[in-house]
A and B are shown apart, each in its own frame.
Chain A
Amino acid sequence: MAASTQPIVLLDKVRKAYRMGEFTVEALRGLDLHIAPGEYLSIMGPSGCGKSTLLNVLGCLDRPTSGRYLLGGDDVSTIPDDDLSSIRGKRLGFVFQSYNLIPQLTVLENIEVPLFYQNTPEDEARTIATELASRVGLGHRLNHRPFELSGGQQQRVAIARALANNPLVLLADEATGNLDSASGREILSLFDDLHSQGKTLIMVTHDLGVGERAARLIRLRDGELESDTRR
């Protein structure tokens, strides 16, 4: 089982600097992080600590200014934009605070979007999307539009969409931030299920109650690792 000991996410002295006029703001200051496959990790910290930047780097939406980022064993910190796109599509799944479903598409079509960009044949994509929709409990809402669904339901569609390409890592950014507590608990228990099925989850939150559900909790302060606790 050599593969399981190899980290699925490896950050090696990752720095990220933003240029704001004449100032340079260092959002990440040489971060080292190892995440093993199947881990359930939450990232916490006060606003401005670099949580979002870290998530953007982890999500391959942004490249680190320096340092290395290995995702699934491949260095993705310097690859071209097109390759970064396909890495996002194949190895990562995003769950956003505001769900970010495409309003003109149905539930099924929203789940199919990542499959479309990976050239999955149409009928196969339909099968996968239908299966995922029922897995998140929306098998009866396949042809509804996002605005016809509740927040919790929309977030479940987003989770199904994030799982479409069977990604290595699931990234959740304040996934329960816009939800009432009941819906939030449903989403969190969905995450627990996914974790128990062996998915690697990374969750950014400022809610301690949410953060402590994860097996490992990381605190960031001023772009540096403050604490890293495992339960």
Chain B
Amino acid sequence: MIPLPSFSSRFRRTVQLGIRSLWLHRLRSLLTVLGIVFGVCSVIAMLAIGEGASYEAQQQIKNLGSQNILLKSVKPAEEEKVSNRQQNNFALEYGLKQDDIRRIRDTIPGIELVVPARVIRDYVWNITHRVDAEIVGTLPNHPATRNQSVAQGRFFNDLEMDAASPVCVLGHDVALKLFPAEEALGRDVRVGLNYYRVIGIMEPRARSAASEASIDGPAANAALGRLYIPLETARRRFGEILSRRRGGTYEAEKVALHEITVRVSRPETVIAISEVVKDILARHHTRKDYEVVVPLELLRRAERTKQIFNLVLGSIAAISLLVGGIGIMNIMLANVTERTREIGIRRALGARRKDIITQFLVESVLLSGSGGLIGVALGIAIPFAVSALAHMKVIITPWSPIAAFTLSAMVGILFGIYPARRAAALDPVEALRHE
């Protein structure tokens, strides 16, 4: 019957003794734990970076709306070749049309909203400030489809839509760049030869250039800010044919609608409805001049990718802990051989087998635990450095350092038990005779 306070004091002294024995061979101890340090550190760091990247991707997809199906006009590949070779002067006609909207709305039940948009790339001016932006001509209910809301002012309404009023709502970034110091609301911005009154500013949203571009496809350039105007206004101001000069060539295209956002009323029907939408479009488009993006599908795919990533990381962690554990076992065996005489002395002075086991087990757990601790510290520091230097989002999930540390301590027990038992099994007489 050992009273508890004396037991804990005894354990504390065993730990102190262990620290001292390990400190006696500082370099050796350090080299032994390096395997665990690097394993734990790299797993935590990679997990944090991966988690951050996948969070950003998922956020982007969620911004697109999980109840949405996005239809985009895409310039067919073969047409592009033709237009480049001939430097033709006629306008290339492709993409989604008003008819597509009608067909979708008429044939498919369970659709809440269908919102078209024209996207025109142009400069937006505020006297001397200039911003390269996407001018989005759309319907008043556009923000609802993207779960976006207006931070300041308001979005344009049906009245302004019907009247083709010269009003605009600025994206957060655009507003910041055009009006760095002043109030943007109520001011006018110029696009081409036309002026638009700013009636609202959208709320900012998290976006990363890389992930959004890959999701929206080449048609949308996500790095650009957006400026929203009524669809009717866009139609009148910009006309049906959009032209641009690029590298000496003149290009003209006739695209009725650049984007159509289809919002279904029940989220679980998104995938099924998207299949029907694809069928309808395929029937009426002779060329593949559109693409269908289902954010929910992307989300599921991103989640699956993340699961695989985590699985790979988990295996790396397991392997590195295994290797680290073998290193610890190796050094502990050497340690036991080296200290055979000490073991003999301790046994002669009254140490039981379990006292010897405890002593060596404490040492191996100290080794692996401190390795785990250093690894956790580095593994937390590295993502912070990465996010500071590379401006990447990192997320350290709280369970990852805890799990990494616990596992590395357990590795100490697992790989320390054999050397410790070997130490305890030594015959005291033999051990005392050992040189």
The answer to whether A and B belong to the same complex is yes
Query: Cβ of B349 and Cβ of A81 under 8 Å apart?
Result: no
Shortest Cβ gap from A95 to chain B (Å): 11
How many angstroms from the CA of A124 to the CA of B2 in the assembled complex?
Answer: 16
B240 interface residue (CB < 8 Å to A): no
How many angstroms from the CA of A161 to the CA of B10 in the assembled complex?
Answer: 19
Interface residues on A, range: 20 to 34
Residues of chain B in range 316-363 having any CB-CB distance to chain A below 8 Å: 341-342, 344-355
Query: Cβ of A100 and Cβ of B341 under 8 Å apart?
Result: yes
Q: Give chain A residues whose Cβ lies under 8 Å from the Cβ of B348.
A: 59, 61, 88, 94, 100
B6 interface residue (CB < 8 Å to A): yes
Residue of B nearest to A90 (CB): B350
Query: Cβ of A121 and Cβ of B6 under 8 Å apart?
Result: yes
Point out the residue from B21, B349, B429 that lies within 8 Å of A62, measured CB to CB: B429
Q: Mark A107-132, 1 if CB is under 8 A from B, else 0.
A: 00000011011110110000000000
Residue of A nearest to B354 (CB): A82
Interface of B is mostly: helix
Q: Give chain A residues whose Cβ lies under 8 Å from the Cβ of B429.
A: 56, 61-62
B13 interface residue (CB < 8 Å to A): yes
Query: Cβ of A114 and Cβ of B349 under 8 Å apart?
Result: yes
Shortest Cβ gap from A110 to chain B (Å): 9
Query: Cβ of B2 and Cβ of A117 under 8 Å apart?
Result: no
Residue of A nearest to B347 (CB): A85
Q: Give chain B residues whose Cβ lies under 8 Å from the Cβ of A69.
A: none
Query: Cβ of B13 and Cβ of A122 under 8 Å apart?
Result: yes
How many angstroms from the CA of A165 to the CA of B349 in the assembled complex?
Answer: 10
Point out the residue from B10, B353, B354, B432 that lies within 8 Å of A116, measured CB to CB: B10
A191 interface residue (CB < 8 Å to B): no
Shortest Cβ gap from B7 to chain A (Å): 8
A40 interface residue (CB < 8 Å to B): no
Q: 15 A-B contacts, Cβ less than 8 Å apart?
A: A56-B429, A81-B352, A82-B354, A85-B352, A89-B349, A89-B350, A100-B432, A101-B345, A102-B342, A102-B346, A114-B350, A116-B10, A117-B350, A117-B351, A122-B13
Shortest Cβ gap from B215 to chain A (Å): 62
If the complex has contacts A61-B432, A104-B21, A121-B9, are A113 and B353 also in contact, measured as CB distance less than 8 A? no
How many angstroms from the CA of A110 to the CA of B344 in the assembled complex?
Answer: 14
Query: Cβ of A161 and Cβ of B349 under 8 Å apart?
Result: yes
Query: Cβ of A61 and Cβ of B349 under 8 Å apart?
Result: no
B428 interface residue (CB < 8 Å to A): yes
Query: Cβ of A81 and Cβ of B353 under 8 Å apart?
Result: yes
Query: Cβ of A102 and Cβ of B350 under 8 Å apart?
Result: no
Residue of B nearest to A83 (CB): B352
Residues of chain A in range 69-85 having any CB-CB distance to chain B below 8 Å: 81-82, 85
Query: Cβ of A113 and Cβ of B6 under 8 Å apart?
Result: no
